[in-house]
Amino acid sequence: MSVPSATDPASPIQWHDRFVRELPADPDTDNESRQVAGAAYSRADPTPVAAPRMVAWSPEAAAQVGLCDAHLKRSDWLEVLAGNRVMPGMKPYAACYGGHQFGNWAGQLGDGRAITLGELVGVDGRHFELQLKGAGPTPYSRMADGRAVLRSSVREFLCSEAMHHLGVPTTRALSLVRTGDGVMRDMLYDGRPAEEPGAIVCRTAPTFLRFGSYQIHMARSDEDTLQALVAYTVRHHFPSLLSEPDAPIDADVVHALFAEVCRRTAVMVAHWMRVGFVHGVMNTDNMSILGLTIDYGPYGWIDHYDPEWTPNLTDASRRRYRYGHQPNVAGWNLIKLAEAFFPLVGVADGLSRGLDVYRDTWYAEQQGMVAGKLGLLDYRPETDAPLWSDLLDAMQLVETDMTLLFRGLADVSSAVMAPSDRLAALRPAFYMALTPQHEAAWSAWLERYVARVAVDGRDDAERRAAMHSVNPLYVLRNWLAQEAIEQAERGDSTRVQALLDVVRDPYTERPGLEHFAGKRPEWARHKAGCSMLSCSS
Ligand code: AMP
Ligand code: MG
């Protein structure tokens, strides 16, 4: 895979500080937990760690911010990415934000363990923030330690890059560093805390602003800071919404901003549904204003298709953030963002038009996604809506691997194939033997599918290629990440590297990678880290 060229590693790095320079700062510079009013951020330096060691980095994420392998191999960069060195020009800070957690307003949250070092300009001229997650306490840490464990850091590092290569809007991960320090965690919240290896991910994004970044100022009736933050957001991140660069940020602009966030959020969630991703903690502080997937915590990937599934142990009883509920939750979160923007516009009509954009975009994207996953040239509601919902029903008759089912479906050819061969193409996706009734149900559905495909009249090979371009073969299955984590915890990062290579090209079947395209093994069915994850990280 080719990686775009980057800056010469010998030339000095030019750090930028737009966020720090242009937005209201916390005047207090003490690194003590506290409420921070009237500010978008607090300056906070990373706390040094004992013995940093590079575990892995992403060459593509490096290139995007103008770095290259030579930088990532240097000891001064290792020190930077571990939080042990602040380079000239960096102005590290922690952002202030609030959020609704599991439907309830939680007040001030903020970057309790994330510290943005500064901004770099990539080869395409775009600014990217470099942010260390797990770099030590900040004024937003409350009672917690500001650190992150290796297992959750491996998961964030790999999944950020996996999502990017799947074509899903996401924050990126530049590097994964072990700190050499231990971190105490009660992983399953069952009163058995243990020391785990600490780690830091350096993640990148044009901005890490979240819905909660705006909500906090509305909640505090601080319209000045809210206005300043919205103006900053539009001028730097949505400049196309302005008729000219210094046009005023009036109600029309706020409406346009909200509508665009609605549109992007719908697109993002449709991608999640396409690839079988469950975010797991869609709190409003975990919703990016850019419509990027952000804050990889107890996320998971659908193995056997079950719209009720959530990987998040903390949410196991209510399942607010289950796979099938994600489009609704995103809509709910957007309503909270609309409430945050309300003081700037005074009337609700324009914002409610944004919510219409969300709904319309979601339906359009969902229909496109259905057509794409089924290999249809276009979406015909009369036939394709029932074809799709009956497929989802069939996938729940017996445990059916979502990823493998759609890959298998691409092999079903329309005309010449015997009905039993059609079903044979799907067999690798089933977790158990089919009964005659199941076989009859699947055969009947396949009959309809083949008839529908015939209406398009598209060549089988062409349909297969199109289906393979939207239905991935290699996704970051929970148990695959867990295998890599257990090996990394023993000091061997070979599997982390191998998985990174696999997820860099998720749509192309490659010999030798059968393990990474496999169904969930039985050992992973009920194992912590695979079928259930806690927020402890
Ligand atoms: P999350 O559930 O990861 O989205 O985090 C929710 C909030 O808790 C955010 O404000 C985080 O910064 C904060 N947080 C989570 N873990 C820690 C930690 N170990 N130290 C400090 N703050 C944390
Ligand atoms: Mg978060």
Is the CB of residue 141 below 6 angstroms from any atom belonging to ligand 1?
yes
The answer to whether residue 5 scores a pLDDT higher than 60 is no
Dump pLDDT digits (tens) for 160-191: 999 999 999 999 999 999 999 999 999 888 88
Dump pLDDT digits (tens) for 198-215: 999 999 999 999 999 999
Looking at the CA of 152, name the nearest ligand: 1
Looking at the CA of 171, name the nearest ligand: 2
Within a domain: residue 12?
A: no
> How many angstroms separate the CA atoms of 412 and 418, rounded?
10
Which parts of 8-149 fold into alpha helices (H)?
A: 18-22, 59-64, 69-72, 75-81
Binned at pLDDT 50, 70 and 90, residue 7 comes out as: low
Average pLDDT over residues 256-280: 98
For residue 319, what are the contacts with CB-CB under 8 A and spacing of at least 6? 308, 310, 325
Among the candidates 457, 486, 512, a domain finishes at: 457
Return the biggest CA–CA distance within the chain: 74
Indicate whether 416 and 315 sit together in one domain.
Answer: no
Binned at pLDDT 50, 70 and 90, residue 465 comes out as: very high
Within a domain: residue 168?
A: yes
Indicate whether 258 and 361 sit together in one domain.
Answer: yes
> Domain total for the chain?
3
Residue with CA at minimum distance from ligand 1 atom 14: 112
> How many angstroms separate the CA atoms of 266 and 213, rounded?
20
Atom of ligand 1 nearest to the CA of 286: 4
- Cβ 195 vs Cβ 174: under 8 Å: no
Residue 268 C-alpha from the chain's centroid: 9
The answer to whether residue 21 scores a pLDDT higher than 80 is yes
Indicate whether 154 and 228 sit together in one domain.
Answer: no
Predicted pLDDT of residue 47: 98
Indicate whether 60 and 203 sit together in one domain.
Answer: yes
State both tokens at 487: 């090996």
Atom of ligand 1 nearest to the CA of 535: 2
Is the CB of residue 113 below 6 angstroms from any atom belonging to ligand 1?
yes
Tell how far the Cα of 97 is from the centroid of ligand 2, in angstroms. Answer: 10
Annotated active-site residue 8? The verdict is no
Within a domain: residue 394?
A: yes
Indicate whether 393 and 420 sit together in one domain.
Answer: yes
Within a domain: residue 515?
A: no
Indicate whether 435 and 407 sit together in one domain.
Answer: yes
108's enclosing H/E stretch is: strand 104-108
Dump pLDDT digits (tens) for 354-408: 999 999 999 999 999 999 999 999 999 999 999 999 999 999 999 999 999 999 9
Residue with CA at minimum distance from ligand 1 atom 15: 112
Decide which of 221 and 186 is more confident. 221
Q: Report the share of the chain in percent with pLDDT over 70.
A: 99
Among the candidates 353, 372, 391, a domain finishes at: 372
Dump pLDDT digits (tens) for 40-84: 999 999 999 999 999 999 999 999 999 999 999 999 999 999 999
Indicate whether 93 and 168 sit together in one domain.
Answer: yes
Residue with CA at minimum distance from ligand 1 atom 23: 112
Within a domain: residue 248?
A: yes
**Amino acid in position 441:** A
State both tokens at 362: 């979601």
Dump pLDDT digits (tens) for 469-495: 999 999 999 999 999 999 999 999 999
Q: What is the pTM of this model?
A: 0.97
Predicted pLDDT of residue 12: 85
- Residue holding tokens 């003081």? 343
Indicate whether 252 and 105 sit together in one domain.
Answer: no
Within a domain: residue 50?
A: yes
Looking at the CA of 298, name the nearest ligand: 1
**Mutate-to-test residue for ligand 1 from 35, 111, 113, 295, highest number of ligand atoms within 8 A of CB:** 113
Tell how far the Cα of 110 is from the centroid of ligand 2, in angstroms. Answer: 8
Looking at the CA of 183, name the nearest ligand: 1
Among the candidates 457, 488, 511, a domain finishes at: 457
Is the CB of residue 281 below 6 angstroms from any atom belonging to ligand 1?
yes
Binned at pLDDT 50, 70 and 90, residue 2 comes out as: very low
Within a domain: residue 524?
A: no
Dump pLDDT digits (tens) for 226-258: 999 999 999 999 999 999 999 999 999 999 999
Indicate whether 411 and 354 sit together in one domain.
Answer: no
Q: Whole domain around residue 425: which residue ranges?
A: 376-457
> How many angstroms separate the CA atoms of 17 and 39, rounded?
16
Question: What residues sit around ligand 2, an ion, with C-beta below 5 angstroms?
Answer: 286, 295
Within a domain: residue 499?
A: no
Dump pLDDT digits (tens) for 146-157: 999 999 999 999
The answer to whether residue 4 scores a pLDDT higher than 90 is no
Given the residues 285, 295, 303, 401, select the one marked as catalytic: 285
Tell how far the Cα of 113 is from the centroid of ligand 1, in angstroms. Answer: 6
**Mutate-to-test residue for ligand 1 from 109, 184, 314, highest number of ligand atoms within 8 A of CB:** 109
